[in-house]
Amino acid sequence: MEFKIKVNNKFITVKLEKKAKIKHCYLRILSSEVLQIRANRYFTLDDAKKLVEQKFSWIEKNIKKMSQNRLKEDEFYYLGVKYKNLDCRDLDSFYKKEAKRIIPMFVDKYSKQMKLYPSSIKYRKNKRTWGSCNYKNGLNFNILLVKFPLEVIEYIVIHELSHIKHKNHSKKFWDLVKLYCSDYKKREELLKSFL
The residues, ordered by sequence, that sit 6+ positions from 39 with a Cβ below 8 Å of its Cβ are 16, 17, 18, 19, 22, 24, 25, 26, 47, 48
Domain boundary among the residues 68, 97, 125 is at: 68
Integer Cα distance of 111 and 59 in angstroms: 36
Beta strand residue intervals within 61-115, DSSP E = 75-78, 81-84
Q: Name the residue range of residue 186's domain.
A: 75-193
pLDDT at 9: 77
pLDDT in tens, 46-85: 888 888 888 888 888 877 776 666 667 778 889 988 888 8
Do residues 63 and 98 share a domain?
A: no
pLDDT at 49: 86
Q: Of the given ranges (26-35, 40-49, 88-97, 167-176), which has the lowest mean pLDDT? A: 26-35
Give how many domains the chain has, as a whole number.
Answer: 2
Do residues 101 and 63 share a domain?
A: no
Average pLDDT of the residues in 82-111? 91
Domain boundary among the residues 42, 68, 94 is at: 68
Percent of the chain beyond pLDDT 90?
48
Do residues 30 and 55 share a domain?
A: yes
Task: Judge whether residue 133 has pLDDT over 70.
Answer: yes
pLDDT at 121: 96
Q: Which of 62-66, 128-132, 160-164 has the highest mean pLDDT?
A: 160-164
| pTM over 0.75, yes/no | no
- Name 75's bridge partners: 84
